[in-house]
Structures are given as structure tokens and as C-alpha cells.
Amino acid sequence: MPTIPADVLSVAQLARLHIDNDALDDVTDRFSRTLNLVAELEKIDTDGVIPMSNPHDMHQRLRSDFVTEDNQRKALQQNAPATADGFFLVPKVID
């Protein structure tokens, strides 16, 4: 699919980019080559390929889920201007 400078300028406008006229031919060529590469990749048969979340064969290391600190709610709310039932009270900012 041939790419013309008008297409590139249209996409640039949608992306809120400015392309100088002297760079337009180069950008159009690069844009066209990128689209051709995507078209080639679409031809590859990917049936039976399992999607990966990570290109490396790694497992996520998770830490043990246990409490490491005591509840310090009263000490942390000590300097709060207003609290109720263990919660911080904040002024209403939206009517």
C-alpha cells in the first residue's frame, strides 16, 4: 500500500505533530517502510503460538504474605485535624 505525503500529514495532525516540508519525504519513506514491515508480519502464521506476558522464561518471585508491622492507626491519626471511626475526615471539595 503506497503512502503519500498527504496521508503522513493527516496522521501527524491527528497526533498533534509538526513535520517540516523539507523532512516530509523522509518521514513518508520511513512511515511507508514501517507499514510494509507490519504487513509482512501479518503474513506470519501464528496459529498454535501461546501468547507470552514476558519474553523470558521467568516466574514472578512473590514474597510471603504476612503482617510485618503492628496496627499504628491511633499513633498515625494523632496529628490529624479530624477523624471518626478510625478514618481521616477531609473537607468536602465537590458539591
Residue 1: predicted pLDDT: 61
Question: Domains of the chain: which residue ranges?
Answer: 5-42
* pTM, entire model: 0.51
Question: For residues 50 and 80, what is the distance between their CA atoms, to the nearest angstrom?
Answer: 52
30 contacts 3 by C-beta, under 8 angstroms: no
Q: What is the pLDDT of residue 95?
A: 77
Q: What is the pLDDT of residue 39?
A: 94
* 82 vs 56, residue with greater confidence: 82
In angstroms, the CA 33 to CA 27 distance is 10
Q: What is the pLDDT of residues 3-51, one digit of tens each?
A: 899 999 999 999 999 999 999 999 999 999 999 999 999 999 999 998 8
pLDDT at 59 over 80: no
